[in-house]
Amino acid sequence: VTVGFTMTPDAKPEINSIRLINAEGGTGAAVDRAYETARRAIIRCGSSGFGLPADKYDQWRGVEVKFNGVEVKFNATTKEIR
């Protein structure tokens, strides 16, 4: 899913602006679920601002995030510390 939103000058996402732009593959219900998850992630991560430089507001005022699950792998044999 590709989710678009705009940000306030203090680098917080404007919740009303979060919208689904595009979706590829998957049924309507799966798309809805992926979009809702992405929306929650954006709101939760941005609740206290993303800490972006104010002088480049033009560059990050509008954001489009493409959440692509194709390469997400779950490898149970090697445990990784992050």
3-state class (DSSP) for residue 31: helix
DSSP run (H or E) holding 20: strand 19-22
- Among residues 35, 59, 76, 77, which is the contact residue for other proteins, using CB under 8 A? 59
Q: Binding of other proteins at residue 56 (CB under 8 A)? A: yes
Q: Binding of other proteins at residue 58 (CB under 8 A)? A: yes
Q: Per-residue contact track with other proteins, 13 to 52, x per CB under 8 A?
A: --------------------------------------xx
Q: Residue 32: how many CA atoms within 13 Å on its side-chain side?
A: 3
- Among residues 27, 29, 72, 76, which is the contact residue for other proteins, using CB under 8 A? 72
CB of 4 to other proteins, least distance (A): 6
Q: Is 9 left (phi over 0), alpha (psi -120 to 50) or beta?
A: alpha
